Structure 1
Amino acid sequence: MHLAALYRYPLKSGRAESLASADLGALGLAGDRRWMLVEAASGRFLTQRLLPQMSQLSALWSATGGLTLSAPGCSSLEVALPQADGNLREVSVWRDNLSVPDAGDAAAEWLSAFAGRACRLVQVPESRARQVDTRYARPGDQVAFADGFPLLLIGQASLDDLSTRVGRPLEMLRFRPNLVVQGSAAFAEDGWKRIRIGALEFEVTKGCSRCVLTTIDPQTGERSVDREPLATLKTYRERDGEVYFGQNLLPRGIGELQVGMPVEVLE
């Protein structure tokens, strides 16, 4: 088995960046989901669930931590990394409430025009990250703006199995993984507890429950009229009222990941 693909999503629910290599830290891949769009009035997080056009929003991460925003029909905008303790805004991600830096009015105006609603852009420094649910993690395990865990892994064979059942090829980016593994059997990752990629170890914590976001074409931003692939997933991947596809991971070390690295199941 080997690591077949690496993806980073600098802006939660924005377009993916395909990477050949990436630094891995306590919060996952460097620059992954460190930025988020929120409602201006409430601070509630915004995603493709409400704004499917976010699938067309590119937010390229720079080594300095800033972003370059771009979208079809829009001029690009450079956004600087805000001060970790300056211009804080109260925001919410699911059940978590936190205070994080606001990126300023220029970014807010650009994104509000794109989204068609008043919104703000916020960033989470490592010092303000969220605790991962301690039912599945240790105290001190943290996550940035991802839904619940720092990393998501999917086996290529699992997607191939789903594509066969749906009857058409499906894009991996519908499921927004960070890590894609090739060479395993379909859904083999369901039974893994610990893995090693190169020299780096990871704890496999729980399956990833899926939602309507998987029905959005990552290329066009349009929802599938037949509600695929969620409809097919419900026929064989539903458990206790949730539909699962992919596995959430916690990193147990820091270093560099590279596409092509061997993947070993430790437990």
Structure 2
Amino acid sequence: MHVSALWRHPIKSHGRESIESVELVAGQTMPWDRAWAVTHEATQPSAKDGDWAPCHNFVIGTRTPGLAGLWARLDEGARRVTLRHEALGELTFCPDDAQDQARFLDWIAPLCPANRSRPTGIVSAGARGMTDSAFPSISIMTTASHQAVAAPLGGVLEPERWRGNIWLDGAAPREENDWIGHEVRIGGAVLRVEEPIERCAHTTANPFTGQRDADTLGTLERSFGHQNFGVYARVIEGGTVRVGDKAGRA
């Protein structure tokens, strides 16, 4: 197997960015992945402190499908994010700056359904990352498993829907499920695969238009008897991972 793609999502549920390499650190999420999260009117006060909190405290694609159409670009040194959406154009802002947060909230408003809690601000998650898992995780997915889901849907399905961090070529379909409880070496890092990822309605939305146009959840259920796709893993030995690096059971 080898690494075919690496992705990070600087602001939880608000855009994705392809990268060529990453330095993984033991016990941490992918650097700059879900480094910020967008709060809403019903966010619990404790979630506003920047510590990890469950996803229902934040504006996410399950409730706001238009967010799926966002793409991101991060300037790490300046802590500045550029978001792009075909219906909104482009916005560059600093998530830590109160005035820039206000500009972001105005810009993102057209994507937010009127019957949902409105976005109110942005919190920084620090190095922990606001992953959906209760532990600092990195998501691993395989192109073979993606193709197994795409085939019943006509063969055309964008892999960006799954919001994975590390994509691997060369595995058998669904092979990653056999890695749960075991270690895998990817490039210079070793990760222990902990659990499957149960998918949500965010995967049904097109990553270019933000429109829900594919029955990913129904396809998973009919084809495999569950709604899992990909696995969560924990970094136990840090190291550099690059696109093209080899991967396999440790």
Q: Return the TM-score normalized by structure 2.
A: 0.82
8 Å Cα contact 1:112-1:119 kept in structure 2? no
Cα gap change, 1:220 to 1:75, in 2 (>3 Å): closer
Of all paired residues, the percent bearing the same amino acid is 26
Which ranges in structure 1 are unaligned for 5 or more consecutive residues?
A: 83-102, 130-143
Map of 1:249 onto structure 2: 233
Partner of 1:150: 137
Map of 1:49 onto structure 2: 62
In the TM superposition, residue 238 of structure 1 has moved relative to its aligned partner by 3.0
Distance in 2 between residues matched to 1:67 and 1:29, nearest whole Å: 18
Alignment of 1:54-93 (within 5 A): 54-64=67-77, 66-72=79-85, 73-74=88-89, 76-79=91-94, 82=96
Listed as ranges, the matches of 1:1-267 within 5 Å are: 1-25=1-25, 26-40=27-41, 42-43=43-44, 44-64=57-77, 66-72=79-85, 73-74=88-89, 76-79=91-94, 82=96, 103-116=97-110, 117-126=118-127, 129=128, 144-148=129-133, 149-192=136-179, 193-224=182-213, 227-239=214-226, 243-266=227-250
Measure the CA separation in 2 of the matches of 1:3 and 1:75. Answer: 30
Aligned to 1:90: none
Unaligned runs of 5+ in 2: 45-56, 111-117
Question: 1:113 & 1:167 partners in 2: Cα distance?
Answer: 35
Pairwise CA distance, 1:55: 2.2
RMSD, aligned α-carbons: 2.0
Q: Distance in 1 between matches of 2:159 and 2:78?
A: 26
> Cα offset for 1:27?
2.2
> Highest relative contact order (Cα 8 Å, sep 6+), 1 or 2?
2
TM-score (norm 1): 0.77
Aligned length: 224
The structure whose residues are more often helix, as a share, is: 2
Partner of 2:115: none
Partner of 1:98: none
Q: Cα 1:179–1:75, aligned 2, differ >3 Å: closer, same or farther?
A: closer
Secondary structure in 2 matching 1:214? helix
Deviations for 1:58-86, whole angstroms, at most 9, x for unmatched residues?
44222226122333435523306x4xxxx
1:93 corresponds to: none
In the TM superposition, what whole-angstrom CA distance separates every residue of 1:169-216 from its partner, at most 9, and x where no partner exists? 211111111011111110111101210012210000010001111100
- Are residues 214 and 36 of structure 1, via their aligned partners in 2, closer, same or farther at CA, if it must alter by over 3 Å? same
In the alignment, the residues of structure 2 paired with residue 66 and residue 56 of structure 1 have an alpha-carbon distance, to the nearest angstrom, of: 22
- SS of the aligned residue for 2:248 comes to strand
